Every structure is written in C-alpha cells, then in structure tokens.
Amino acid sequence: MKNILVSQPNPVSLEKSPFCELIEKYKVKIDFTPFIKVEAISAKEFRTQRVDILAHTAVIFTSRGNIDNFFKICEENRTVITDDMKYFCTTEAIALYLQKHIVYRKRKVFFGKGRFSDLMDIIVKHKEEKYLLAMSEPHNPEMRISLDKAKIKYSKIILSHTVSRDIKDSVDISKYDIVVFYSAPEINSLVANFPDIKEKDIVIATFGTATASTAVKLGIKVSILASTKTFPSMITALADYIQKVAKSQPIDTSYIKEAIDAEKALKDLLLSKIKGAKKKKPTARAVAAAAAKKSVAKQKAL
C-alpha cells in the first residue's frame, strides 16, 4: 500500500494537512485530484425557484462554495441581507469563511462539529427561526429528513450543481493501491471515467455511509469506511488498513455493511414517521365537519 489517490483538491499546505501524518509514518505517496466540480446556478435559474430570501431569518450552509454562491446570487438580484440574519454552518471552518462576506459576530453565527446531526442539536434550540437551507444538487436527503422530523420551518434553495470532471486521460487509476472518496457524486464520477473500475484490484475508501452506499449500489466493493465510532476520521481508517496489510493481518469489513444497513434503517424509520404525521393531520374538510357536528350536538342539548 504505497500509492494513494484522494478525490480532493491539493491542500494549501501539505505539511498542515492530516494526510501528512500518513506520508511520514507509513512512507506512502499521496496524490490529490478532484473527481467532481461544482457549478453555481445562474440568476435566471435562481428566479425559477421562487425563493424569497428576505422572508427567512437564518441560512444553513454545509460548504464554503455555497456561501460564495449565496452572496453572488444576492448581489445579482440586488438583495440586501440584513445585519440580523443568522447563519448555521456544519463546521467552524465554514463558519469562519463567512468573514469574506459579512461582519462576523458570534451571536449570529453558529456551527457544528462536522456532521449535520451535530448542527441539528443547535438548530432545534432556535426553532423560532425561519431557515433557508442552502443546497447543491444532488444532495444528501439526511438534511431535509432531520429538519422535517424536528418540525423546523425552512425552505430549500439549490445554489449549485455537482458534475463529474473528465479525468480519464489525465489520471492513471491503475497505479494506485487505494482511492479515497468523500461524496456520492465522486463515486458516480469514478464510474463515468473508469467503467472497468470493478475489474481493477484497487481498494476503495469512503467517507460517510451515503458515499459507501452509492458505491455498493454500483457494484463497487468498499474496504475502508470513515467516519465511524472505530474510525472517526479518514486518517485513522487508512492508518489501520495500511498497518494490517503490512502485518498480513485479517481485515474485517463487516462493519461497513452494518453501518450502511443501520443508516438505511434509520432513514426508513424517519421517513415513515414523517409520512405518518402527515397522514394524521386532519384536512380542512374534516375540521369543518367536526365543527358542524359539535354545533349540532350543542343545539340538541339546548
């Protein structure tokens, strides 16, 4: 396990990158090549969504790219964001990026620890807000499921589209022992660029069960998964795999299927609860009929 490809842009400083630890400790060579690119929507496309930005009191961001896209759209549409707008971000790094566009104030900027579930713990403490969920297409349905379950008032806005990059001529995929992916669109790009990937003896590492699930659905074996309780980061997951291969130790990948199955079961449960809640909500006709019945009962009593 000497050559690793990471589907991310080159870090600004490799020395400060967490991957530097792997390079120094295990003497591996790591290359960085993004498999996808994000294209911002046009002002015309934004208008077709019929979203009134100023009707909201808070915005949820999960990427720095969509922060730029959001303020670009506001500028193009001459929408002036008020100073009392609040911002909820999945990580501190994304939150700090807001300084490029706003005066950063702690009282109006909130952030989680990386997972959307962490951010939800903060969002539910501010239920009075009317949220605008900034999204890319395609996106992980977990966000909307979580917001619906918590009965948060929100609207969604698509600010960008994630598309595959054509890298089949610039990347020799066969020379890598491990390829690391962080999102489902990256897996789709892998298959689009290298249709015979399933026939190659390459270890696939994925971050997040949604990424792993997409790979499995496309017939690609996943051998490394982060983040889990055992491997909270991609670095710890890769380090464990490299060590075991070096020592010829058995590698147990059963935890990957268990994680995918658990995530699917949770999503199915949340969806069933949401659908059940919607079914139980009485219609206007049912409410009117009940009121009429109650009125008749009162008149008979008199």
Please give the structure tokens belonging to residue 175: 């020379």
Residue carrying structure tokens 């807000």: 129
Lowest mean pLDDT among 100-104, 135-139, 266-270: 266-270
Co-location of 69 and 98 in the same domain:
yes
Alpha-carbon gap, residue 103 to 94, rounded angstroms: 15
Residues 150 and 57 placed together within one structural domain of the fold: yes
198, 23 Cβ separation under 8 angstroms:
no
**51 and 141: one domain?**
yes
Read off the tokens for 37.
């690119």
Indicate the number of domains in the chain: 2
In a shared domain, residues 207 and 92: no
204 in the same domain as 159: no
Residue 280: inside a domain, yes or no? no
Contact, 178 vs 203, CB < 8 A? yes
Q: Does the pLDDT at position 28 exceed 90?
A: yes
Q: Are 20 and 14 in contact (CB under 8 A)?
A: yes
For 127, residues 6+ apart whose C-beta sits below 8 A from its C-beta are: 150, 151, 152, 153
Q: Are residues 64 and 14 in the same domain?
A: no
Q: How far is CA 297 from CA 176, 288, 291, in A?
A: 78, 14, 10
- Please indicate, yes or no, if residue 236 is contained in any of the structural domains: yes
The pLDDT assigned to 116 comes to 87
User: pLDDT tens across 155-171, in order?
Assistant: 999 999 989 999 999 99
Query: Residue 18 has what DSSP assignment?
Result: T
- 43: domain CATH number? 3.40.50.10090
Q: Average pLDDT, stretch 96-101? A: 92
pLDDT at 117 (0 to 100): 86
235-257, pLDDT tens digit by residue?
999 999 999 999 999 999 999 99
**pTM, two decimal places:** 0.70
Domain, as residue range, for 247: 3-35+165-261
Whether residue 227 lies inside any domain: the answer is yes
Assigned domain for 221 exists: yes
CB atoms within 10 A of CB 55: 9
pLDDT digits 0-9 by tens, 39-87: 999 989 999 999 999 999 999 999 888 999 999 999 999 999 999 999 9
Q: What are phi and psi of 64, to 5 degrees?
A: -70, -35
